[in-house]
Structure 1
Amino acid sequence: MKKHGHLNRDIARILASMGHTDSLVIADCGLPIPPGVECVDLSLKLGQPGFLETLDSVLADFQCERAVFASESQDRNPPVAAKAAAMAQDGVALEFVSHETFKARCQAARAVIRTGESTPYANVILHSGVIF
């Protein structure tokens, strides 16, 4: 049994298979999952697990060089906007795009991790960096 990192076998496998610039989406429970993109559905009920909790868990085990958020999150979801600002302070490059553009970009993701989050625009596309 694993002692550290993700216990969820699908998330552990996806993170281990990511290469430089590959993308991974962490989504609220309402984001449409594009056909053909793997979905790891963690949702238990509305709000659980939460977006920020899931994002923090992934970031602890993932080298992120760039993150894309919906621009609407800046006004409509202050906790997500605050997390984006904190990520920028940690050296992650940020991009904000319209929610429609965000959904279109999800089609290129390796996978989507679906949470139970039920607040608006609680979604992010994480782009893999390198550890060397």
Structure 2
Amino acid sequence: MKKSTLLNSDIAHLVSTLGHTDEYTICDAGLPIPQHVARIDLALTHGVPGFLETVRVVLTESQIEGIILAEEFATVSPACHEALIQEIRNEETRSGKSISIQYLSHEEFKERTNDSHAVIRTGECTPYANVIFQAGVVF
């Protein structure tokens, strides 16, 4: 049995096949997912699993160098936005690497998900609780 925190085989496979700068998305329950992008659907019911808990677990396995957020996230859902930024700062401390943060309009964000290798859908119901991770390198 796998020893590390991440047990979901689809997410573990995704992380293990990413190259430098490849992108994937973790999203709330309502983000439209492009038909051609792989969907890893974790949603069970409203709020389960949550966006932030999913981010925390995925970060245990994935080295990232950047994130992309919708501009609206910070103004519409400031508490969740700030909690995500804190998770990213914690990851910078753990990894010893800087993580860039980029903001796009929500419409541009949705368009950008077309480039994701996969979209991990949570049960989160907080508006704009979505993030695109850009894969980094461990060396």
TM over 0.5: yes
Distance 1:78 1:129 in 2: 27
From the two aligned structures, give the one with the greater helix fraction. Answer: 2
Aligned residue for 2:118?
A: 111
User: Aligned pair 1:82/2:82, yes or no?
Assistant: yes
Paired with 1:73 and 1:118, the residues of 2 have a C-alpha distance of: 13
Please say if residues 49 and 115 of structure 1, whose CA atoms lie closer than 8 Å, have aligned partners that are also in contact. yes
RMSD of the alignment, in Å? 1.2
Q: How does 1:42-61 map to 2 (within 5 A)?
A: 42-61=42-61
User: Structure 2 CA distance, aligned partners of 1:28 and 1:84?
Assistant: 13
Instruction: Answer yes or no: is the 8 Å Cα contact 2:81–2:129 preserved in 1.
Output: no
Cα 1:88–1:94 change in 2 (3 A) is farther
2:63 paired residue number: 63
Deviations 1:48-75 (A, max 9, x none): 0000000111112110100000000011
- Structure 2: gaps spanning 5 or more residues: 93-97
Q: Distance in 1 between matches of 2:85 and 2:133?
A: 14
1:9-53 CA-to-partner distances (Å, cap 9, x unmatched) read 100000000100000100000000001100000000000000000
Tell me, what secondary structure is at the counterpart of 2:132? strand
Alignment-derived partner of residue 93 in structure 1:
100
Partner of 1:102: 109
Note the alpha carbon deviations across 1:95-117, whole angstroms, 9 max, x for none.
01100000000000000000000
User: Aligned partners of 2:60 and 2:18: how far apart in 1?
Assistant: 15
Percentage of matched positions with identical amino acids: 45
Given the two structures, how large is their TM-score scaled by the length of structure 1?
A: 0.95
Quick one: which amino acid aligns to residue 96 of structure 1?
Y
**TM-score, length of structure 2 as denominator length:** 0.91
- In the alignment, the residues of structure 2 paired with residue 119 and residue 61 of structure 1 have an alpha-carbon distance, to the nearest angstrom, of 25
Q: Where do 5+ consecutive residues of structure 1 fail to align?
A: none
